[in-house]
């Protein structure tokens, strides 16, 4: 006697083997759909994108850190100008001061400003209907050379420009925008859209970014009403993107240069490769760490989309709704957003119909379905919880992992372990309740939760509804067919339903792991659970039959039924052990540490400061494990508590704040101040007493809003920063000023990092700050 299952066949073992093989091939093809193409060398046709040529540009750009305002940045800019002139283009430098856009999140010290120098050039179209803007930022953080972020984007655009200028002239204008100051405050992009004449009238922007060193170039953000653009992007050689990522990114506080363009009314797409995030913003973000396949994918897709846009009437791209889209083998599946709710509702109807058919055929009952629906919450909740606890366990075993904000160097083994851990929960749950409720009941309950989630996502994140609604719809329809047929037709039906689930969910699982990182492994496990629930009819086919057996025979069958759970548990242990074994630290793959130095010139006292979530061994010689707030003395560090330790006061001059003009009228005071650093610095800042009523606030000619009480100025001019301030106050005003340089090696008491210990990619790593209070 067999359990009341969806699939009815006398050849369960053979059918199970066939289904596993077929789904294995489907899984392989689905993973390949989100893998970057092979890099192309110099032998490729002249009109094609060649990663080899682009990589040579990356090598020329990312020789050393080149933050905004640095001498190294000047050299990169000269290289860009020479490269563009070599293509018979006429690049210009937009030299200006810019303030961080109002839609962006200000830093702890206040609004960001910068002296930026964008490199801009125009490739004129034959009969332009609008402009296409190809954008990448050419500055890096102060801690790393920016091989991937964003020399990869810059190198890719230079190669795209070469291909465009050597090919037939496009209909539309193409504007190459190499922005400055992205890492500091996104000020270069803001300067371009608000001040550059070429930005008037808007257009279509393609922004190239990177948050790692490998993986596919994912189109992760779009402007609103993106359906026509997504249709065009679907014609790229290998389009990789999901509307779910767009929905999630819109909810996050993250920004790129694309933000300034989007908020200024431009339409467009934002793409980045994001795997290999251990090198992000770190000294290890060197050209040699970059996967050239990722560079090929970045440039190849950009070139194709630019050409398609170049011959399109750009005025027709506006309008419509947001598309739902996702990658599949050989194509980008997409459909209008107006179908989200109908498909989600249809999925629920299909699952209800499946439940009705199963009850009519005697495979389940209403009571069993209700119980199974409640019990299905066990894997839905338990697997993500265990996966979320997995990373803290790993950091307990290897404390250095606490210094990695996203992923370690070789996270693949741990990602597989998360999948195996999810399998432990699902297999164990299935084996425990299969005999009591029947596999058909559990499978219907799993599809039911998928259908419900599809409706929830349709309401909250419409672009992500497909992840649950489509597998539920396909699974329910195929399960009905399987119940109404017999033998191999039944097997074929459940295989088709499972294949749809794999095609839809597995690529998103693959993309989500590097997007969220190991610290958020619970989110990845949640998607894996959804996939496992959609595959329950297949799980039943490979599960040892115990239903209807008695005595020793039932006991032995039950033990064999627990075998998948045991194998999955063993896989978790083995994969974790392998990960710990191969992911070792060395000079090329160092552990990451974070340290700053803060000197209070008022008291001539200093302290070491670190924002490490867990103090690393090297850092512990400078700071203690206790958390302290330093906002009062160093407002630029914000209200977050950090770890501190005493330091020797270095003979560093404090920034100078002078009063150049002071006009008083009643209780209103208008002042002109000049803030000047007396040492080479990367940034400087000023904070005003929060209680002071501000009527007008201008920095280097850039007006700030009246609610601003401070600013951080990147790449300050040698002659100082002019500040015009109107306040309602009659007495002296208290100002706290600060400047910051890079590098700690010359400070008293600093001990160099040993081999295998590196610097975390943080905007404050290795910052040497000096602060002073003025009363004027």
Output the pLDDT for position 97: 96
Q: Which of 254, 699, 295 is nearest to 515 (CA)?
A: 254
Are the C-beta atoms of 730 and 768 separated by less than 8 Å? Answer: no
With 0-12 / 13-18 / 19 or more C-beta atoms within 10 angstroms meaning exposed / middle / buried, residue 179 is buried
Alpha helices for 271-331 (secondary structure H): 292-310
**For residues 97-111, average pLDDT:** 67
Tokens of 694: 């501000």
> What whole-number distance in Å separates Cα of residue 70 and Cα of residue 520?
36
Please enumerate in sequence order all residues whose Cβ is within 8 A of that of 684, keeping only pairs 6 or more positions apart, or say none: 655, 675, 677, 712, 713, 716, 721, 737, 738, 739, 740
The answer, yes or no, to whether residue 7 has pLDDT greater than 60, is: yes
The answer, yes or no, to whether residue 10 has pLDDT greater than 90, is: no
CA–CA–CA angle 167, 171, 177 (5° rounding) = 75
**For residues 582-607, average pLDDT:** 96
The answer, yes or no, to whether residue 103 has pLDDT greater than 50, is: no
Q: Which residue would you say has higher pLDDT here, 261 or 8?
A: 261
> What whole-number distance in Å separates Cα of residue 423 and Cα of residue 557?
20
pTM for the model stands at 0.94
The answer, yes or no, to whether residue 41 has pLDDT greater than 90, is: no
What mean pLDDT, rounded, does the chain reach?
Answer: 92
Q: What band does 52 get if pLDDT is binned at 50, 70 and 90? A: very high
Q: What band does 302 get if pLDDT is binned at 50, 70 and 90? A: very high
Output the pLDDT for position 109: 62
Q: What band does 691 get if pLDDT is binned at 50, 70 and 90? A: confident
Question: pLDDT tens, 490-514?
Answer: 889 999 999 999 999 999 999 999 9
Output the pLDDT for position 5: 65
**For residues 615-628, average pLDDT:** 92
Output the pLDDT for position 583: 97
The mean-pLDDT minimum among 7-16, 68-77, 212-221, 664-673 falls in 7-16
The answer, yes or no, to whether residue 108 has pLDDT greater than 70, is: no
Question: Where would I find the beta strands (DSSP E) of 172-262?
Answer: 173-179, 204-210, 218-222
Tokens of 288: 């040699």
The answer, yes or no, to whether residue 689 has pLDDT greater than 90, is: no
Output DSSP code: residue 331.
E
Q: Partners of 642 in the beta sheet? A: 628
Are the C-beta atoms of 121 and 198 separated by less than 8 Å? Answer: no
Please enumerate in sequence order all residues whose Cβ is within 8 A of that of 514, keeping only pairs 6 or more positions apart, or say none: 212, 215, 274, 275, 276, 277, 406, 407, 411
The answer, yes or no, to whether residue 105 has pLDDT greater than 60, is: no
Question: pLDDT tens, 461-488?
Answer: 999 999 999 999 999 999 999 999 988 8
Question: pLDDT tens, 379-411?
Answer: 999 999 999 999 999 999 999 999 999 999 999
> What whole-number distance in Å separates Cα of residue 731 and Cα of residue 734?
10
Are the C-beta atoms of 50 and 292 separated by less than 8 Å? Answer: no
- DSSP string covering 67-132: -TTSHHHHHHHHHHHHHHHTTT---EEEEEEEE--TTSPPBTTBEEEEEEEEEEEEE--SS-SSEE
Tokens of 450: 């998928």
Question: pLDDT tens, 254-285?
Answer: 899 999 999 999 999 999 999 999 999 999 99
Output the pLDDT for position 705: 84
Output the pLDDT for position 12: 74
Q: What band does 543 get if pLDDT is binned at 50, 70 and 90? A: low
**For residues 597-618, average pLDDT:** 94
Output the pLDDT for position 15: 83
The answer, yes or no, to whether residue 430 has pLDDT greater than 50, is: yes
Q: Which residue would you say has higher pLDDT here, 377 or 7?
A: 377
Output the pLDDT for position 201: 92
The answer, yes or no, to whether residue 547 has pLDDT greater than 60, is: no
Q: Which residue would you say has higher pLDDT here, 563 or 758?
A: 758
């Amino acid at each position: 006697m067999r359990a009341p299952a969806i699939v009815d066949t006398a050849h369960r073992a053979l059918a199970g083997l066939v289904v596993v093989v077929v789904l294995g091939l489907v899984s392989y093809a689905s993973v390949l759909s989100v893998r970057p193409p092979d890099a192309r060398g110099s032998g490729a046709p002249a009109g094609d994108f060649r990663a080899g040529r682009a990589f040579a540009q990356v090598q020329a750009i990312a020789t050393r850190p080149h933050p905004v305002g640095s001498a190294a940045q000047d050299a990169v800019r000269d290289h860009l100008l020479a490269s563009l002139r070599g293509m018979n283009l006429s690049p210009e430098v937009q030299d200006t001061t810019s303030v961080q856009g109002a839609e962006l999140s200000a830093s702890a010290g206040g609004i960001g400003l910068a002296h930026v120098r964008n490199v801009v050039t125009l490739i004129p179209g034959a009969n332009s209907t609008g402009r296409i803007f190809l954008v990448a930022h050419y500055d890096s953080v102060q801690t790393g050379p920016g091989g991937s972020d964003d020399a990869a984007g810059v190198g890719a655009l230079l190669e795209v420009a070469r291909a465009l200028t050597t090919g037939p002239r496009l209909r539309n204008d193409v504007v190459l925008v190499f922005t400055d100051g992205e890492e500091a405050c996104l000020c270069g992009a803001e300067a371009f859209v608000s001040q550059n004449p070429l930005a008037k009238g808007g257009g279509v922007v393609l922004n190239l970014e990177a948050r790692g060193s490998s993986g596919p170039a994912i189109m992760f953000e779009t402007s609103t009403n993106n359906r026509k653009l997504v249709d065009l992007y679907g014609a790229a050689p290998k389009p990789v993107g999901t509307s779910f990522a767009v929905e999630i990114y819109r909810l996050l506080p993250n920004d790129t240069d694309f933000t300034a363009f989007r908020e200024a009314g431009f339409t467009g797409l934002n793409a980045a490769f994001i795997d290999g995030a251990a090198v992000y913003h770190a000294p290890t973000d060197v050209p040699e760490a970059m996967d050239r396949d990722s560079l090929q994918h970045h440039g190849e897709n950009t070139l194709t989309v630019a050409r398609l846009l170049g011959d399109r009437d750009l005025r027709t791209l506006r309008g419509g709704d947001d598309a739902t889209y996702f990658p599949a083998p050989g194509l980008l599946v997409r459909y209008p957003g107006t179908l989200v709710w109908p498909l989600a509702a249809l999925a629920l109807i299909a699952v209800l119909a499946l439940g009705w058919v199963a009850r009519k055929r005697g495979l389940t009952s209403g009571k069993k379905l209700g119980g199974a629906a409640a019990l299905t919450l066990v894997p839905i909740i338990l697997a993500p919880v265990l996966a979320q606890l997995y990373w803290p366990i790993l950091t307990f075993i290897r404390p250095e992992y606490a210094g990695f904000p996203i992923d370690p160097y070789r996270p693949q083994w741990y990602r597989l372990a998360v999948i195996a851990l999810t399998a432990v929960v699902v297999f164990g749950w299935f084996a425990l309740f299969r005999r009591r409720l029947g596999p058909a009941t559990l499978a219907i309950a799993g599809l039911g939760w998928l259908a419900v989630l599809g409706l929830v996502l349709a309401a909250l994140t419409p672009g992500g509804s497909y992840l649950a609604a489509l597998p539920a719809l396909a699974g329910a329809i195929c399960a009905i067919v399987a119940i109404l047929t017999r033998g191999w037709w039944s097997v074929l039906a459940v295989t088709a339903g499972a294949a749809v689930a794999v095609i839809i969910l597995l690529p998103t699982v693959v993309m989500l792991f590097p997007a969220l990182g190991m610290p958020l492994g619970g989110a990845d496990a949640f998607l894996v659970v959804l996939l496992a629930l959609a595959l329950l009819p297949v799980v039943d086919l490979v599960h040892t039959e115990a239903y209807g057996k008695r005595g020793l025979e039932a006991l032995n069958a039950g033990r064999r039924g627990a075998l998948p759970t045991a194998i999955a548990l063993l896989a978790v242990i083995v994969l974790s052990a392998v990960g710990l074994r191969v992911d070792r630290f060395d000079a090329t793959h160092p552990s990451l540490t974070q340290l700053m130095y803060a000197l209070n010139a008022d008291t001539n006292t200093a302290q070491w400061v670190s924002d490490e979530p867990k103090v690393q061994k090297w850092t512990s010689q400078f700071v203690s494990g206790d958390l302290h707030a330093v906002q009062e003395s160093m407002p630029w560090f914000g209200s977050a508590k950090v770890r501190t330790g005493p330091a020797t006061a270095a003979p560093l001059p404090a920034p100078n704040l002078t009063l150049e003009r002071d006009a008083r009228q009643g209780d209103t005071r208008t002042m002109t101040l000049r803030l000047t650093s007396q040492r080479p610095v990367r940034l400087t800042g000023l904070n005003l007493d929060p209680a002071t009523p501000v009527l007008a606030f201008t920095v280097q000619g850039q007006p700030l809003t009246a609610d601003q009480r401070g600013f951080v100025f990147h790449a300050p001019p040698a002659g100082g920063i002019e500040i015009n301030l109107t306040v309602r106050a009659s007495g002296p005003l208290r100002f706290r000023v600060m400047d910051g340089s890079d590098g700690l090696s010359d400070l008293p008491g600093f001990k160099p990092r040993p081999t295998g210990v590196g610097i975390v990619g943080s905007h404050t790593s290795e910052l040497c700050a000096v602060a002073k209070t003025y009363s004027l």
